Chain A
Amino acid sequence: MHKVYHRIEQIAGNVITVRADGVANGELAQVVGTLGTSLAQVIRLDREKVFLQVFAGSRGISTDGQVRFLGHKMDISFTEALLGRVFNGSGRPRDNGPELDENRIPIGGPSVNPAKRIIPRKMVRTGIPMIDVFNSLVESQKLPIFAAAGEPYNELLARIALQAEVDIIILGGMGLKHDDYLQFRDTLEANGALSRSILFIHTAADPTVECQMVPDISLAVAEQFALQNKRVLVLLTDMTSFADALKEIAITMEQIPSNRGYPGDLYSQLAARYEKAVDFEGAGSITILAVTTMPGDDVTHPVPDNTGYITEGQFYLRNGRIEPFGSLSRLKQQVNGKTREDHRTVMNTMIQLYASYKETLEKQSMGFRMSAWDNKLLKYGERFEKEMMDLSVNIPLEAALDLGWQIMADCFDPAETGISSKLTGKFWPKKTA
């Protein structure tokens, strides 16, 4: 029988301290306060002092509250019954459905042996030219969407989720507005995708500690499905809330902050989650798409900055469009050589020309005379923005490439694009008289 402790020595933030012996690092405990019972996890041991973070927050816990150690670490039930359900950050149902208790699996498990990974080779087609043509999404990729608050990032996430061909969708919501959560659920339901989805939702009103658990729970479940040969897409929104939850705990624990109050291990913490994206040798895969909101639209903020170093590229969402500059899929080279021979050339040339267009735009705004070349660029840039960049455009990759050639042919001579004559000979559209 597990011993019950009755004297809580310290309550600071969501962390409580009790004196106990024989307690293991990372162990779970049950804490009973005046507002109910909550789980708590051991985060530090110092002689007989045990530091626990209380999932439901420390409000309502009294100094004579009960602490009972459970002798195991955080886990979650893994069964097919998870599909179609909604849970909170502690893994308890939030959809009034039954509690699940069979086949408990630990969360936050060890990392995958790199020798068991394979090079991702399968493109995930989304029908969005800014992704398919310019920054192809690849199965097992981890990719964040960087956006300022107010951008339609959750809509984009939902759209990719519905159009991508995957077996299972897991949504991890952190600090979500309740409306956004409902919107996600309704969108998935309306498109018949809820039955292959699992939602782990922490809303802005829930305790911070649960926010911190969401990625681990989501990914632990994803990992099990992937091992059963399923292709899993994990959507995490918003990882900045997750980082802020880390910050809150770190500060409570009196850790020395490194940058804007975030703990020094922010990089490792984020990496431990993102690195769960994997293509297993001889089993399924996990693809992670995450939203990272940029406070002040500043990409050098510690959260997007550290994220960028971890993930395999990033999409910038700005003014409702995926920005061609800065957006990058690091894995695109794995797939875009095998789609069509002109894919890479169209991708590079169109972006270079668009960069020149931006320069011209700058010159124009300063009131300089436009040369013949400038006028061509202006025409090109406008069409590019309208026909390629707009998020409402929904066409397959091949059609998008043809469209690219058409736009270039309508604006330039072949030599002006700098494309090797071999390709222009084959793909340059013939002038229609």
Chain B
Amino acid sequence: MSENIGKIVGINGNLITVRFDKPVTQSEVGYARIGETALKAEVIRIRGENAELQVFEDTTGLKVGDPVEFSGNLLAVELGPGLLAQVYDGLQNPLPKLAEKCGFFLQRGTYLKALDRAKKWAYTPQARKGDEVTAGDTLGTVPEGIFQHRIMVPFRLPGKYKVEEAVAAGSYNVDQVVAKLRGERGDVISVTMVQEWPVKVPIKAYAERLRPVEPLVTKVRIIDTFFPVARGGVYCIPGPFGAGKTVLQQITSKHADVDIVLVAACGERAGEVVETLREFPELTDPRTGKSLMERTLIICNTSSMPVAAREASVYTAVTICEYYRQMGLNVMLLADSTSRWAQALREMSGRLEEIPGEEAFPAYLESVIAAFYERGGVVKLKDGTTGSVTIGGTVSPAGGNFDEPVTQATLKVVGAFHGLNRERSDARRYPAIHPLDSWSKYPGVVDAKQVAQARKTLRQGNEVSQMMKVVGEEGTSIDDFVVYLKSEFLDATYLQQNSFHDVDAATGADRQKYVFAKIHGILTAKVFFPDKDAARKWFLQLTSVTKDWNLVPMDAAEFKQLEQRIDAMLAEVSEHA
């Protein structure tokens, strides 16, 4: 294709208007040139002879009349071995390598290859000469971290292909051809270990989509027991600032029972990414005994990085998730925060002078959010194995008010809602997920009947506490008061969890079942007290013992001792019956 070059006629923030003569495709990538530097941009609207492009970089220094090269390609990511443990920006530039090249600051117009070109991978072919394959079928594997990374037939290939040539097992870099495929029309395709895929298009090289039913254990008690998430499910965590969204995401990224975690830091603080970046390589993944970083990938487009790249970053992230899903792995995407992404849409919409919807968000906000969350799910691959992408997105509603467009659009499409609450976080009740407002449509790890009972206690306890505010403690019957104390006990010992304590931070499914059964026993026990002060004193003590119990490992001798103490305390107050 001959070069397609346009000229800049207008610049408004990161939006440039470009006059073109040759055909231009919607969403194609263009490069605006300032001397030697080329700034990446994406076509977002075409009007007559002018195309409008959002530039993924600072536009300072661009002039009217500067050339823009249209590439003919949509915005795409590179998929292949070596993605894991990497840190990319929203356009898949490897940040550590960029730092080696440019130093402390992010220099605009510097784009590096996402995958290491020099590294050799031990390739084991799987498909043989003459095999018939379709998009997504495995041609061979290379070991990456703890997985066998599948080298697949490129997803873009339509129809059936025959393997015409397959290399022998050996050591290759990602650009070397590992197979040649002949199509039905005789076309021959050379396949390397790396393929490109446009980020805004879902990968669909699977047999069918399944319903998410298997619980995904996050080791956060209030989530797994009360508001569970399923593998392949999608959930959201809206909350005002300071309510603990990001801490919750970090905890989940450490402990979630999945093969790969992808953290998309979208328009949030750089400091938070740095924590993950610096801490994860030193932490061990209890499931594999290897470094936690080996199962983690970070897409990082923090709040001070260019806005348009922020919009791209969530798509970059979910596309990489889908790629690993195609290998039969369970992948989790933690997007923090989807509101920043929505705001990026709003900024562009404003520059395009589109007619604004609610709170100046564009009218297409809902469909864009829905389409994004729909990329999560469990799929049955063509070889019969399953893979999943679970998406957890935080939402940062303005003023902590959930009645705003982004939260509402998100709630419509997710399967679980973990609403963080300012009152709970002010009272240091972490995680500050509201136990009465939140919901989940997915099955959990603990007996559903026991959970229902516990929720009833919480609701009743809340009613009593509301009532007590009006009639005072003296106007409350001792039975009601005990219900209130029980709900507070459940809150303090089970719903709240100390994320900074080694043991308490992560409660496995078995322990949850065991401990919850015990707590359920206490909630349903008939207990008797001479007066309210005695009741309060007993519950405070029980809470203290149970909290200690949470802090000891399940296999320690102390675990049994404390459990016996709890049993003994319960026997003391129930024996009057």
Contacts and interface: CB of A to CB of B under 8 A. Distances in A.
Nearest to B343: A267
A140 B95 CA distance: 21
A119 B242 contact: no
B449 interface: no
Contacts of A48: 64
B551 interface: yes
Interface residues of B, number: 82
A190 interface: no
Which 10 A-B pairs rank lowest in CB-CB distance, beginning with the nearest?
Answer: A300-B399, A368-B472, A271-B303, A26-B60, A275-B304, A258-B360, A308-B241, A111-B304, A45-B11, A115-B95
Contacts of B421: none
Contacts of B278: 118-119
A44 B63 CA distance: 10
Nearest to B472: A368
Nearest to B543: A418
23 contacts: A25-B59, A25-B61, A45-B11, A45-B12, A110-B105, A110-B107, A112-B104, A113-B98, A113-B99, A113-B104, A113-B106, A114-B95, A114-B302, A115-B87, A116-B103, A258-B356, A276-B304, A302-B398, A328-B242, A368-B474, A371-B533, A415-B537, A416-B540
Contacts of B13: 44, 265
Contacts of A275: 269-270, 302-304
A328 B241 CA distance: 10
Interface stretch (B117-125, B134-142, B143-151, B345-353): B345-353
Contact of B551 (A328, A362, A420): A420
Contacts of A276: 304
B428 interface: yes
Nearest to A72: B61
Interface in A192-241: 227
B544 A420 contact: yes
A272 B60 CA distance: 15
B508 interface: no
Contacts of B307: 265, 268
Contacts of A272: 303-304
B360 A23 contact: no
Interface stretch (A80-88, A96-104, A123-131, A344-352): A344-352
Given A265-B307, A299-B399, 5 more contacts: A45-B63, A46-B17, A115-B98, A274-B303, A275-B302
B208 interface: no
A110 B58 contact: yes
A415 to B, nearest CB: 5
Contacts of A23: 63-64
A154 interface: no
B346 A258 contact: yes
B451 interface: no
Interface in B337-368: 337, 340, 343, 346-347, 349-350, 353, 356, 359-361
Q: Which of A116, A280, A314, A363 has the most CB of B within 10 A?
A: A116
B99 A418 contact: no
Q: Which of A112, A114, A368, A418 has the most CB of B within 10 A?
A: A114
B505 interface: no
Contacts of A115: 87, 95-96, 98-99, 277
Interface string A351-381: 1100100000011001011011100000000
A252 interface: no
A208 B529 CA distance: 68
B513 interface: no
Interface in B64-104: 64-65, 87, 95-96, 98-99, 102-104
Contacts of B300: 114
B469 A256 contact: no
A363 B472 CA distance: 7
A120 B99 contact: no
Given A256-B356, A302-B398, A119 B64 contact: no
B396 interface: yes
Contact of A25 (B62, B105, B340): B62
Interface string B1-22: 0000000011111000100000
Interface string A17-40: 000011111110000000000000
A270 B343 CA distance: 13
B340 A73 contact: no
Contacts of A255: 350
B182 interface: no
Contacts of A91: none
Contacts of A111: 105-106, 270, 302, 304-305
A300 B400 contact: yes
B168 interface: no
A333 interface: yes
Given A264-B350, A312-B269, A373 B536 contact: yes
B62 A117 contact: no
Contact of A355 (B65, B103, B427, B547): B427
Nearest to A374: B473
A47 B17 CA distance: 9
Contacts of B62: 24-25, 45
Given A275-B304, A308-B241, A366 B472 contact: yes
Interface in B521-555: 532-533, 536-537, 540-541, 543-544, 547-548, 551
B472 A267 contact: no
B274 interface: yes
A265 B303 CA distance: 11
A319 interface: no
Nearest to A309: B241
A371 B481 CA distance: 14
A281 to B, nearest CB: 8
A372 B533 contact: yes
Contacts of A415: 537, 540-541, 544
Contacts of A418: 492, 540, 543-544, 547
A259 interface: yes
A326 B360 contact: no
Contacts of A427: none
